[in-house]
Copies of this chain bind each other. A is one copy, B any other.
Amino acid sequence: MAKELKDLTKRSDNYSQWYNDLVVKADLAEQSAVRGCMVIKPYGYAIWEKMQRQLDDMFKETGHVNAYFPLLIPKSYLSREAEHVEGFAKECAVVTHYRLKNAEDGSGVIVDPAAKLEEELIIRPTSETIIWSTYKNWIQSYRDLPILCNQWANVMRWEMRTRLFLRTAEFLWQEGHTAHATREEAEEEAQRMLNVYADFAENFMAMPVIKGVKSANERFAGALDTYTIEALMQDGKALQSGTSHFLGQNFAKAFDVQFVDKNNKLDYVWATSWGVSTRLMGALIMSHSDDNGLVLPPKLAPIQVVIIPIYKNMEQLAQIDEKVAGIVARLKTMGISVKYDNADNKRPGFKFADYELKGVPVRLVMGGRDLENNTVEVMRRDTLEKETISCDNIEQVVKDLLEEIQANIYKKAADFRASQIREVDSYDEFKEEIEKGGFILAHWDGTPETEEKIKEETKATIRCIPFDGDKTPGVCMVTGKPSQRRVLFARAY
């Protein structure tokens, strides 16, 4: 077995270390020289590109267009919306100067004190403020609405504790920012985009999610409501995977964006924003992967099928090369991305382990006997099951298998989650159960104070008030006060 694999920590030994190992060893990302900022390596970026392409298509299908707004935000803009600045000021990178110069003592370059900015600029932690200052010029009348813009961008939040993909100072994301004539339209948009995220998570990432609304404590800084999709990782911790915010008229008021409505009356514009980030890479890894490495859903795998030859001599390799060329061509006609790895400087065992580590969904192996029999050995990454099949009609067999793997990965994650959701009625029981991980549905009195108390005492937070599920009222497990319905608790990333 290849060295890389032997070094991968087992999940049962140390889940956190397993994750860190896997991200680095599977060539997804690594720490950079800049504190908290990561390098996304080519294989990791290829997965992100597949996510981007799919999400971008879904945004465009729902009527959105892309645009690009400045990286830097004037400090005063950030301050316009009171809650917003409160939420982001404590962790932002500040540009104060625009020039370096040679030190007079020859010791290198220093910041030129003469090149101090009149007003400091913040590297965007999110773009509501710069975008709404722009929308002010785009919107005069109801005829200019809705505006349905998205941007793909890098943002920066100066986090103190960082982990690759899950929490980094700089990360890549998309942020949608929409402007509407009515409250109803904006609320509908925020819901629509949450549904797009849930669709993407479930049908492409093969990751089941629970949709709901955040409690006041967990709301986006400046939003009236934050909708969320929450996923459950294999270690029983929750991961917030995408959020969509109904911003009301807060940013329109902060930037004085008014419009003339159909009745010729002035009103402030209604807003939403919504985003998912490279954090989804962390969610993808932790949802499906195992002690042998990544397990990727076929729809997001950069390489869906790898073909590896086993040969005694170069003459036999040449025969296999010829046979495989035909298989590759047939797989490609089905839109399957396939790599034939006939590199002669690595042994088959090394290749097997490496492609397992990288989560390639289907592996085909062809040896001398296969050549004679017109067969190939097929292994699926999700179950590691192998069988030998005929090369006839292989493109259809592989296509069907990829679909089956996609469905099976989802089912496995959904079954796991189902086993990890339970209802709890007393706070004592809650404290016991939360230690075991998973989602807990419990009654809560709706106050920030009770939520805060639970968080302090158990490290659990309200992940969301689910849209679906049991809506029977009850009494709060902590205070005994009335509760409208059970809400979803978990410890979270």
Contacts and interface: CB of A to CB of B under 8 A. Distances in A.
A100 B92 contact: yes
B109 A99 contact: no
A325 interface: no
A95 B93 contact: yes
B67 A42 contact: yes
A79 B100 CA distance: 10
Given A98-B92, A99-B89, A149-B42, A72 B111 contact: no
A172 B172 CA distance: 15
A72 B170 contact: yes
A97 B96 CA distance: 8
B65 A40 contact: no
Given A38-B70, A93-B98, A100-B122, 11 more contacts: A32-B130, A32-B134, A40-B67, A42-B65, A76-B108, A78-B109, A79-B109, A89-B99, A92-B98, A94-B97, A98-B158
A231 to B, nearest CB: 24
17 contacts: A30-B134, A32-B70, A37-B70, A37-B72, A39-B69, A41-B67, A46-B66, A70-B170, A71-B154, A71-B156, A78-B100, A89-B99, A89-B102, A89-B109, A92-B98, A94-B99, A154-B154
Contact of A94 (B41, B70, B85, B96): B96
A418 to B, nearest CB: 36
A30 B149 CA distance: 16
**The 9 A-B residue pairs with the shortest CB-CB distance in the complex, in nearest-first order:** A37-B70, A89-B100, A42-B65, A40-B68, A94-B97, A98-B158, A96-B96, A34-B70, A32-B70
Interface of A: 30, 32-34, 37-42, 45-46, 49, 65-79, 85, 89-102, 108-109, 111, 120-123, 130, 133-134, 137, 143, 149, 153-154, 156, 158, 170, 172, 345
Contact of A100 (B49, B66, B68, B90): B90
A144 to B, nearest CB: 12
B121 A34 contact: yes
A77 B33 CA distance: 10
Contacts of A93: 72, 95, 97-98, 121
The oligomer's copy count stands at 2
Contact of A109 (B45, B65, B85): B85
**Most chain-B CB neighbours within 10 Å: which of A37, A40, A67, A154?**
A67
A271 to B, nearest CB: 17
A320 to B, nearest CB: 23
B37 A109 contact: no
A408 B90 CA distance: 57
Contacts of A72: 34, 37, 93, 170
A104 to B, nearest CB: 15
A92 B111 CA distance: 10
B70 A109 contact: no
Contacts of A68: 39-40, 45, 172
A70 B137 CA distance: 33
Contacts of A153: 154
Given A85-B109, A111-B120, A67 B92 contact: no
Nearest to A134: B39
A68 B168 CA distance: 13
B89 A94 contact: no
A164 to B, nearest CB: 12
Nearest to A89: B100
Given A90-B100, A94-B98, A39 B109 contact: no
B75 A109 contact: yes
Contacts of A92: 98-100
Contacts of A99: 89-92, 94, 158
Contacts of A94: 95-100, 111
Contacts of A130: 32-34
Contacts of A149: 42
A250 to B, nearest CB: 18
**Most chain-B CB neighbours within 10 Å: which of A30, A72, A111, A153?**
A72
A56 B379 CA distance: 32
Contacts of A74: 33-34
A67 B48 CA distance: 10
Nearest to A148: B42
Nearest to A147: B42
Contact of A98 (B41, B67, B75, B91): B91
A405 to B, nearest CB: 24
A58 to B, nearest CB: 16
